[in-house]
Structure 1
């Protein structure tokens, strides 16, 4: 997956009209959108299809899939059949659950992103102790795409070293959570930005400032 300007918008609003207002302002600058449960539960899974039909974007479903293998397979297939290009899955349920996601996505010629460690402070208690093992498992399973935190650059660097230079890492936590896009992109392939953009009175201006900060 290639990402324009190395920025992914986390579009965690809860109304289609607001989502479209933001997309109208930013899609000249980026081509990859991440949506999760807030927008999908509020508008129904058809919002995935609508965005794909109305905008020329790649769409990553951030559903953090974390169930047994049989259930994971159903979640992944259903989500990707609605039009998502990729889906984010948790690694902690183990290799059988992750493989079910990977295989289901590959059958549809789509992608999975393996979540190694989250960007929030609370993740340090349970995910941090196993996140490097999750990354190693991903390599063993042939996973190409990963999620690792922009708010913890030391962890992001360690995960990059494990998955290798050819893996594709997207990194949440830029903006409100404290991560800096330019610093993040030393180790990640794309920075994920949410509230800084979608809560702004001018999402376009905020995005332009971030793009400028990366280039200087």
Structure 2
């Protein structure tokens, strides 16, 4: 995934035609499109292949099971054309290793959730986020996920992972995260969803976020 725009679209719609329309309209402004269970459960795994034919697809399945099940899920993602998969780390090193090993076999990527963007994440995630981040480095993943809604978490996780791993940061837009701020704190990409795909002009909303990031970079 090339870092051209530093924006990823979280395409959390469920209608196949709507998903393809939005994906097409924003493709010049985003570096990848993240799809999750709602769209795949409604439209089938084929939607990953359809979108990945012209832009990288991140399967946000938050994989969290025993090693063998994790392997099987990751295989399905990569066999369907997915560029990468988002997994959980709290299930332990052996489960994470299964995802990383499978990704390596396919020449693809694994991103590990170190913290989440919703308020409830502070109850259980924050106390273990640093440990998950350290394990992610040791496991040789491609990157981690840290929330745009809590930039202190982004800064902290970046200190732990150094420059070794990429960082994706969800929660920009509707959840309140500011794209330029999060990039300044250490994220490589920001992730926005509803503020883009619920707009009458998804491409304009995506373009605005990209411009905000570029304008801020121009000031530094």
Q: TM-score, normalised by structure 2?
A: 0.94
Q: Runs ≥4 in structure 1, deviation > 6 angstroms?
A: none
Match of 2:188 in 1: 189
1:5 aligned counterpart, secondary structure: coil
Match of 2:26 in 1: 26
Match of 1:157 in 2: 155
Alpha-carbon offset, residue 153 of structure 1:
0.4
User: Which stretch of structure 1 is more off in the superposition, 144-153 or 206-215?
Assistant: 206-215
Alpha-carbon offset, residue 144 of structure 1:
2.9
Alpha-carbon offset, residue 25 of structure 1:
1.5
Q: Deviations over 1:12-41 (max 9, x none)?
A: 100111112212221122231100011100
Contact 1:8 1:191 in 2 (8 A): yes
Contact 2:100 2:140 in 1 (8 A): no
5+ long unaligned stretches in structure 1: none
Q: Aligned partners of 1:153 and 1:82: how far apart in 2?
A: 34
Q: Aligned partners of 1:182 and 1:31: how far apart in 2?
A: 16
2:112 aligned counterpart, secondary structure: strand
Alpha-carbon offset, residue 96 of structure 1:
0.5
Q: Deviations over 1:155-184 (max 9, x none)?
A: 110000000123100100000000000001
Contact 1:132 1:162 in 2 (8 A): yes
Q: Aligned partners of 1:191 and 1:74: how far apart in 2?
A: 28
RMSD of aligned Cα (Å) = 1.0
Alpha-carbon offset, residue 154 of structure 1:
0.4
Q: Does 1:47 align with 2:58?
A: no
Q: Aligned partners of 1:27 and 1:139: how far apart in 2?
A: 31
Contact 1:4 1:32 in 2 (8 A): no
Number of aligned residues: 214
Alpha-carbon offset, residue 88 of structure 1:
0.3
5+ long unaligned stretches in structure 2: 216-220
Match of 2:112 in 1: 114
Contact 1:3 1:30 in 2 (8 A): no
1:4 aligned counterpart, secondary structure: coil
Match of 1:35 in 2: 35
Q: 1:98 aligns with which of 80, 96, 99?
A: 96
